[in-house]
Structures are given as structure tokens and as C-alpha cells.
């Protein structure tokens, strides 16, 4: 029974600290705001379904906000609204979102609060191992934040879990850690709860003198301005002291404390559950003193309140007390009725421990089935003890990890304090070495770039020389063609002209036939001249610039070697002879590297290469329709790194766009306004 009272105290104080009374405000289209949703979700005058609706609206509004500090504050407020109305499912959902956002933002404060709230959630649904794990995580975070108050609250929650699992020694240690940790800060409610829990622990251990001592300390720690208005702390403290005397079978003194608690102002309105508990405890002690003047009315009154609040643990206690009372009165029928009802309520509660007292009572009331009830009682009790021992071991392991972390942290502090000067000297020495090494690396890098630039220029010059040799051969070919034109075509034209002149004096059929033959010969000569002219024009366009010829050779080689279609477009307005060799060789290498990468990896059907002059810039675009890749996930290979490096050498900009299944596009923009006049 005392354990149940602590659970009620533990949960209601947390809820009470977060509740906020508001006045109803109707929603309309002009006032559809987050602040109003928060107010209405906390308005106890509204139906729970309406409050849940406003909380959901608030959540949907907040979840779409940018993940900043205000966003996380609002998520916390949403979680509090759901907790206040007892909607644990939505409470857990909103806390999970808060944790995800806090981790993304690396916000340690709200990470710690999220863990603490998840501990509350799992504690509320009776999963103590999960609750303890999240409280443990919260404790580590609050330690890092040096947040003494929230650290104390988290440790107190852990102590409550240990108490509920019958780990009284572990709970006792945890509570004293709380008291030491909050020393020197304003945390009167934590001090009250700590003393109150110590009173419950010592009562379970049957160290009744200590239990009374700490219950008295709990009562003395209550500050009227801070605590008394929070769910009647004085009434609960007086009730716990009365329970100690009840267990000591000093029922007269127990009744005194119960009545003092019952006389607190507005208890029925402020905390009806504690009011019902005090009524039941007074009735039970009076029953033990054989004072029946208000019995069983007090039992029934307490049961009615507990039933209206759906307090299943409290209902079981009231039903068992009524069963015990009617058994004493020899009314076995009613005694069995209440015991069986207590057993049914235990089944609804889904808490195995609640079965023990009804089974024990039924074994007394039904001697014929006593063996059956006793066997089930022993089986269930053994099972619960194993579970509690197992849970205690889990708690111990977590505590061990905590102590280990704390010990390592302390050792590190000592080592850091002793070695701080040594580390400082090493850091200074290391920085000195780093500067020297960095300078040497920078010098080597500069020399390497100079050598690379010279090598590039040498390669380009070799290519130019090769192209010049080709051009020289073409010039020789042109001379030969010119000679043939002069000696062959012109000679033929001269002969035809002379013959036509001589035929002008004749007009017979033979002369006409000969003139037609010479006209046909002129046509043939005209066709020969046209073909030679076309060949010369094509060569002229190809030889506008050696760089263009080199690039065209690269394209032609690509077309001969690979199956993919290559489309090229070189802007004729670009004055290549005015550009530096460094720019031309780097652009050529980038084109070469791009096409090579496409051939290796892209599996493309079409490749497009464009060289344009756009305002004062040279723009190179290389596109393919290949398989593409995710530029965010895939690490840049050495080929792409080289392209980026060459672009930087030209003081240009490199951009690559690609999507899986949609191909790749590389764009290089190099400023050339200084090299090419506008």
C-alpha cells in the first residue's frame, strides 16, 4: 500500500508542475494561432477529445517549423500538453520527434530533456528497465550540462523505479546522491520528495524510527509558498507518517496523522486521490481498534472516489479492506464478493503484483480452495521476486557503468590538472613543427605546380609542332594543286578559248558540232575548279587555329574508337591565338579527362561537348546521357579532382551536376576578358 502511495505522489507532482490553467477562447479563422492551440490544449474545462484535437493542431503546426531553438521549445510544450491530459501514446510520439530534432541540432539541453521525458513515458506504462535506461542517458547529459536541478530530478526518478522494484538499498543510495547534489541550490520540492521517499524506504525495511524521522523532515521541508499548493504535499506527508504508525500497529497515533492530513484545506478539490486514501486509512485503523461507528461508510466513500478516478490500485485496497471487514463480521458472502471484485480489478490493472493480496484473502475466505489460491500466490510471488532480482541486476549494471564513467572522468581531471603544463609545451612545440612542415609542403607544392605547368606547355608545344608539320604538308599540297590549276586547268581553258575564236568565222554544221564539244569541255573544267575550291575551303575552316584542330583530332579519335555518338560545337568567335597556352592545355586536358570518364563509367549513348564565349568568359560544357551518380554520396575520384585543380589554375569555376539514371553535366567557366578583347 505504501508503494502505491509513492507512485501516486511521484506521478502527480510531475504532472502538477507542468499543468497550466487557462480560460476558454473560441477558435476562429482569424485567431487560428499556435499560442491559442497551446492554451486550449491545457484547458481542463474542455472535453479531453477537444483538448487532444487542439494539441494535434499545435503539433502539426510546430512539426513544419525550422529546426531552431524555438521549434524545440514548442515541441516540448506539445509533449507537456499530451502528458497533462494523460495521452501517453501521443506524448511519446512528440517526444521522439523532439529527440530526433535535438540530436540533429546537437542541442544537449533538449537531448537530455527528451531522454528524461522518455523515462517518464516508460515509467508510466510500467516498463521499468526502459525507463531506467532513458533516465540513465538523461543523467549523463545533465552531468555534462552541470544542471544540478534536473540531475537531481532524474536521479530521484531512478530512485523511485528502484523502490518500486524492491531495490530498497539501491533506492536509498540514489536518494542520498540527490540530496548531496542539490545542496546549495533552490530545490525545495526535490528535497521534500527525497525525504518522503526515504520515509517510504525505511518503512518497507521496517526501520520505523528512521521512517518517522524522514517523514518528519519531509513535512518540515514543505514551504507553503512553494510546495503546499502542489497537490497537497502536507496531506501526503502526514498520510505517510500515519502509515508507519499503522504498520507498527499504533492505530491511535496513525488516526491522529490521518485526520491531520484530512483537515488540510481544499484537499478533496486539489487532490481527491489522497483524500480517498486518507479516508480508507482512517477507516482501516478504526476497524483494527474495533471502532465501528463510521464503518463501513468510510470504506464505501473512499471506494466511490477511487472508482470515479479509475485508480485501480486504490480500488483493490478499498475492496480488500471491505472484504476483511465483512469477514470479521462473519458475512462471508459479502467478504467473498469484495475479494473476487478485487481479483477482477487486478486482472484489469495488468500489474501482476496486484494479484497477491486478493489471492491471499481468498485463501483465507475459501478453505476448500485455499491450496489452489496459495499455490497460485506462491507461483506468482516467486515469479515477481525473480523479475525484481533481474531488474535489480539491470539497475546495478547501469549504475556500475555510471560509476565507471564518473571514476574515469575524475581520473582524467586529475591527470589533466597535473599534466597541463606538459601538454601546453607539447602543443607549442607541435605547432612549431607544424609551421615548418607546412612551409616545406607549400614550397614543394609550388615547385610541383611550376614543373607541371612547364610540362603542360612542353606537351602543348609538341602538339603544336606536330600540327605545324601537318600544316606544312598541306601547304605543299596546296602548291601542287595551284601548279596543276595553272599548268593543267588554265592551259586547257586557253586551248578551248583559242579554238572557239577560230571557229567564230565558220557557221556550218561541223563548226557547230565542234563548238558544242568545246562547251562540254568548259563544263568539265568548271566542275574540276569547283571541287578543288571546295577542298580548299574545307581545309581553311579546319585550319583556322591549331588548338581547334587538336581538339577536332581528339573528337575524331573518339568517334572511331567508341560506339557512343559525339556531338561537338566550338564557337567560331573565340580568338584562340590570344589565349595563353596554360588555359588551352588545361581546357584540352579537361575535355580529354571528361570523355575518358564517360567511356569508363557512364555507359552513355550520346556525348555533347560545347565550347562557347559568353560575355567575358570561356564556357566548356560536357554532357552525357549515361547512368549518372549521386554527387552527395559518391566520393570524387582523382579524375574529377584533377579537373577541379586545372580549373582553379585558370581561376575558373567548376560545377558538376548528376542524378542516377539522368546522366552527368560538367561545366567549366574560365574568365578570358583580359586575353580576348570585347
Choose the weakest-confidence range: 252-266, 371-385, 605-619. Answer: 371-385
Q: Max CA-CA distance within the chain?
A: 166
> How much is the pLDDT for 489?
64
Sign for the CA dihedral angle at 318, 271, 225, 14 comes to positive
In whole angstroms, give the CA distance from residue 43 to residue 50.
10
pLDDT (mean) for 389-404? 57
Q: What is the pLDDT of residue 209?
A: 92
d(CA 21, CA 229): 14
Q: How confident is the model at residue 31 (pLDDT cuts 50, 70, 90)?
A: very low
Q: Is the pLDDT of residue 4 over 60?
A: no
pLDDT above 80 for 116:
yes
The pLDDT-based confidence of 310 (bands split at 50, 70, 90) is confident
Torsion of CA 513, 514, 520, 525, to 10 degrees: 180
Neighbour order of strands in the sheet with 664-671 = 565-570, 606-614, 617-624, 664-671, 653-658
Classified by CATH at the fold level, domain 546-671 comes out as Heat Shock Protein 90 (3.30.565)
Mean pLDDT of 442-470: 68
pLDDT confidence of residue 414 = 61
Whether domain 1-146 has CATH 1.25.40: the reply is yes
Q: Give residue 675's pLDDT.
A: 56
Cβ(174)–Cβ(162) below 8 Å: yes
Angle at 556 between CA 552 and CA 560, to 5 degrees: 170
Q: What is the pLDDT of residue 232?
A: 74
Q: How far is CA 81 from the centre of its chain?
A: 23
In SS3 terms, 145-213 reads as: HCCHHHHHHHHHHHHHHHHHCCCHHHHHHHHHHHHHHCCCCCCHHHHHHHHHHHHHHHHHCCCHHHHHH
- % of the chain exceeding 90 in pLDDT: 20
Which carries the bigger pLDDT value, residue 526 or residue 6? 526
Query: Within 13 A of 670's CA, how many CA atoms are on the CB side?
Result: 28
**C-alpha cell, 652:** 575558373
Q: What is the pLDDT of residue 619?
A: 93
Cα(390)–Cα(132) distance, rounded to whole angstroms?
Answer: 13
Q: How many helices (H) and strands (E) does the chain have?
A: 25, 5
| 500 grid coordinates | 572557239
Measured distance CA(274)–CA(281) in Å, rounded: 10
Distance CA 270, CA 265 (A): 9
* pLDDT category of residue 129 using cuts at 50, 70 and 90: confident
Q: Which three cell numbers stand for residue 243?
A: 502509515
Helix (H, G, I), strand (E, B) or coil at 258: helix
Q: Residue 566's pLDDT band (boundaries 50, 70, 90)?
A: very high
Distance of alpha carbon 393 from alpha carbon 344, whole angstroms: 32
State the helix-helix crossing angle for 370-484 and 546-561, rounded to 10 degrees: 120
- Does position 15 have pLDDT exceeding 80, yes or no? no
Q: Average pLDDT of 273-300?
A: 90
**CATH 1.25.40 spans which residues of the chain?**
1-146
Confidence of residue 536 (pLDDT cuts 50, 70, 90): low
Q: How far apart are CA 268 and CA 272, in angstroms?
A: 5
181 alpha-carbon distance from chain centroid: 32
Residues near 126 by beta carbon (within 8 Å), at least 6 away in sequence: 350, 351
pLDDT the model gives residue 123: 86
Poorest-pLDDT segment among 70-84, 295-309, 540-554, 615-629: 540-554
Q: How far apart are CA 232 and CA 212, in angstroms?
A: 19
Torsion angles phi and psi, residue 656, rounded to 5: -130, 130
Average pLDDT over residues 36-63: 89
Q: What is the mean pLDDT of the chain?
A: 80
Q: Average pLDDT in the 588-603 region?
A: 89
Whether residue 3 is predicted with pLDDT greater than 80 in this model: the reply is no
**So what's the pLDDT on residue 269?**
81
Tell me the CA distances in angstroms from 175 to 161, 170, 395, one per residue in order. 11, 9, 15
Q: What pLDDT, on the 0 to 100 scale, is given for residue 352?
A: 76
Alpha helices in 485-603 (DSSP H): 490-503, 509-542, 546-561, 581-597
pLDDT at residue 30 in the model: 31
Q: What is the mean pLDDT of residues 575-581?
A: 83
Mean pLDDT lowest for which of 17-21, 56-60, 101-105, 308-312? Answer: 17-21
pLDDT tens profile 175-216: 998 898 888 888 888 888 899 899 999 988 889 999 999 999
CB 361 within 8 A of CB 324: yes
Contact 30, 36 (CB under 8 A): no
Query: In Å, how far from its chain's centre is CA 596?
Result: 40
How many Cβ atoms sit within 10 Å of the Cβ of residue 432? 10
Angle formed by the axes of helices 233-247 and 272-288, nearest 10°: 20
* % the chain with pLDDT above 70: 77
pLDDT of residue 22: 36
CB 134 within 8 A of CB 122: yes
- The reported pLDDT for the residue numbered 494 is 61
DSSP H or E stretch at residue 100: helix 88-105
Q: Tell me which residue has cell 521525458.
A: 117
b (16+ CB within 10 A) / e for 500-519 = eeebeeeeeeeeeebbeeee
Comparing 129-138, 492-501, 576-585, the range with the smallest average pLDDT is: 492-501
Split at pLDDT 50, 70, 90, the class of 126 is confident
| Partner residues linked to 606 by β-bridges | 565
Q: Which three cell numbers stand for residue 6?
A: 509513492
- Give the Cα separation of 62 and 56 in Å (integer): 10
What secondary structure letter does DSSP report for 642? H
pLDDT of residue 671: 92
What pLDDT does residue 33 have?
Answer: 81
pTM strictly above 0.85: no
DSSP H or E stretch at residue 543: none
Contacts for 441 with CB less than 8 Å, ≥ 6 apart: none
Spell out the residues 6+ positions from residue 639 whose beta carbon is closer than 8 angstroms to its own.
593, 596, 597
The rounded distance, in Å, linking the Cα atoms of 37 and 60 is 11
Amino acid at each position: 500500500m505504501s508503494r502505491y502511495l509513492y507512485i501516486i505522489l511521484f506521478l502527480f507532482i510531475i504532472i502538477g508542475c507542468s499543468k497550466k490553467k487557462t480560460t476558454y477562447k473560441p477558435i476562429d479563422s482569424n485567431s487560428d494561432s499556435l499560442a491559442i492551440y497551446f492554451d486550449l490544449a491545457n484547458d481542463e474545462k474542455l472535453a479531453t477529445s477537444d483538448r487532444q484535437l487542439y494539441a494535434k493542431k499545435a503539433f502539426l503546426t510546430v512539426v513544419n517549423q525550422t529546426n531552431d531553438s524555438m521549434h524545440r521549445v514548442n515541441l516540448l510544450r506539445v509533449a507537456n500538453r499530451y502528458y497533462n491530459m494523460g495521452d501517453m501514446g501521443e506524448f511519446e510520439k512528440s517526444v521522439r520527434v523532439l529527440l530526433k530534432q535535438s540530436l540533429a541540432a546537437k542541442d544537449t539541453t533538449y537531448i537530455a530533456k527528451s531522454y528524461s521525458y522518455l523515462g517518464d513515458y516508460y515509467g508510466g506504462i510500467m516498463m521499468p528497465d526502459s525507463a531506467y535506461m532513458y533516465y540513465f542517458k538523461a543523467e549523463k547529459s545533465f552531468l555534462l550540462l552541470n544542471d544540478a536541478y534536473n540531475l537531481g530530478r532524474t536521479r530521484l526518478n531512478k530512485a523511485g523505479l528502484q523502490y518500486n522494484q524492491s531495490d530498497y538499498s539501491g533506492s536509498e543510495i540514489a536518494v542520498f546522491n540527490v540530496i548531496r547534489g542539490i545542496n546549495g541550490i533552490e530545490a525545495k520540492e526535490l528535497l521534500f520528495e527525497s525525504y518522503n521517499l526515504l520515509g517510504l524506504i525505511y518503512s518497507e525495511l521496517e526501520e520505523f524510527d528512521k521512517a518517522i524521522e524522514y517523514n518528519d523532515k519531509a513535512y518540515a521541508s514543505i514551504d507553503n509558498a512553494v510546495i503546499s499548493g502542489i497537490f497537497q504535499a502536507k496531506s501526503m506527508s502526514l498520510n505517510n507518517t500515519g502509515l508507519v504508525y499503522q504498520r507498527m500497529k499504533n492505530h491511535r497515533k496513525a488516526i491522529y496523522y490521518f485526520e491531520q492530513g484530512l483537515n488540510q484545506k481544499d484537499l478533496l478539490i486539489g487532490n481527491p486521490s489522497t483524500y480517498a486514501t486518507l479516508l480508507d486509512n482512517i477507516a482501516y485503523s478504526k476497524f483494527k481498534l474495533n471502532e465501528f461507528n463510521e464503518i463501513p461508510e468510510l470504506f464505501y466513500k473512499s471506494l466511490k472516489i477511487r472508482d470515479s478516478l479509475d485508480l485501480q490500485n486504490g480500488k483493490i485496497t478499498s475492496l480488500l479492506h471491505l472484504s476483511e471487514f465483512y469477514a470479521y463480521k462473519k458475512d462471508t458472502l459479502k467478504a467473498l464478493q469484495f475479494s473476487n471484485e478485487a481479483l477482477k480489478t487486478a486482472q484489469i490493472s495488468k500489474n501482476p503484483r496486484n494479484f497477491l493480496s486478493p489471492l491471499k484473502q481468498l485463501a483465507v475466505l475459501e478453505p476448500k480452495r485455499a491450496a489452489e489460491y496459495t499455490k497460485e500466490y506462491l507461483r506468482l510471488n516467486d515469479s515477481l521476486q525473480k523479475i525484481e532480482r533481474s531488474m535489480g541486476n539491470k539497475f546495478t549494471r547501469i549504475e556500475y557503468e555510471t560509476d565507471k564513467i564518473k571514476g574515469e572522468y575524475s581520473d582524467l581531471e586529475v591527470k589533466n590538472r597535473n599534466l597541463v603544463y606538459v601538454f601546453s609545451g607539447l602543443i607549442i612545440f607541435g605547432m612549431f613543427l607544424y609551421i615548418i612542415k607546412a612551409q616545406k609542403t607549400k614550397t614543394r607544392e609550388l615547385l610541383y605546380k611550376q614543373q607541371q605547368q612547364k610540362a603542360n606547355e612542353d606537351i602543348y608545344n609538341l602538339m603544336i609542332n606536330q600540327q605545324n608539320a601537318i600544316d606544312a604538308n598541306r601547304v605543299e599540297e596546296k602548291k601542287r594543286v595551284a601548279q596543276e590549276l595553272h599548268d593543267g586547268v588554265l592551259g586547257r581553258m586557253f586551248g578551248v578559248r583559242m579554238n572557239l575564236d577560230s571557229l567564230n568565222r565558220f557557221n556550218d554544221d561541223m563548226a557547230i558540232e565542234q563548238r558544242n564539244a568545246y562547251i562540254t569541255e568548259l563544263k568539265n573544267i568548271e566542275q574540276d575548279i569547283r571541287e578543288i575550291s571546295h577542298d580548299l575551303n574545307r581545309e581553311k575552316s579546319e585550319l583556322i587555329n591549331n588548338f581547334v584542330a587538336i581538339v577536332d583530332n581528339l573528337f575524331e579519335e573518339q568517334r572511331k574508337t567508341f560506339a557512343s555518338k559525339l556531338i561537338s560545337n566550338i564557337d567560331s568567335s573565340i580568338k584562340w591565338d590570344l589565349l595563353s597556352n596554360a588555359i588551352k592545355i588545361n581546357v584540352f586536358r579537361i575535355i580529354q579527362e571528361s570523355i575518358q570518364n564517360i567511356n569508363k563509367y557512364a555507359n552513355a549513348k550520346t556525348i555533347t561537348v560545347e565550347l562557347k564565349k559568353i560575355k567575358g568568359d570561356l564556357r566548356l560544357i560536357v554532357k552525357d546521357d549515361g547512368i549518372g551518380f549521386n554527387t552527395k554520396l559518391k566520393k570524387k575520384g582523382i579524375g574529377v579532382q584533377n579537373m577541379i585543380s586545372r580549373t582553379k589554375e585558370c581561376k575558373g569555376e567548376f560545377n558538376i551536376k548528376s542524378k542516377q539514371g539522368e546522366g552527368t553535366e560538367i561545366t567549366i567557366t574560365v574568365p578570358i576578358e583580359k586575353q580576348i578583347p570585347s
